Amino acid sequence: MESGLPSEVQLGLDAARRAACLKSHRLRVEVDGKVYRILRAWPGGFAVDAADAPHLRGRVDLFDGARHISQCLIVAAAEEGGEWHFDYKRVTDASGNQPLDFERAPDRPAGLLEDFSS
């Protein structure tokens, strides 16, 4: 008795699994204006489809839908199972605020109100 699936069936299941991952995941990586969907992500890196994405390297931007999550410095770790695996060398969270070169006092005034009573 054969314990594995025929190769055609296994290829079909793998393709269906990859298509389901692409539909369900909103994570994507943007490099030089080109966007690649992330199949899987883990704390130290992520995986993209090897057929769609080239051998990426350097600074990339990570997005969850339209929301910018972080800027990362990545290196390609390995290719296995039709996926490129990338590891983070550096991850910087993206925020909507500009970085400050001074400390803001916690008791600072919220604003200035003028006296218009006269």
Once rounded to an integer, what is the mean pLDDT over residues 33-39?
89
SS (H, E, C) 32-64: CCEEEEEEEEECCEEEEECCCCCCCCEEEEEEE
Enter the pTM of the model: 0.61
Whether the per-residue pLDDT at 54 is higher than 70: the answer is yes
Q: State pLDDT tens for residues 58-95.
A: 899 999 888 888 889 998 888 888 888 999 999 888 87
Q: List the alpha helices (DSSP H) in the chain.
A: 7-24
pLDDT at 1 exceeding the cut of 50: no
Distance CA 24, CA 26 (A): 7
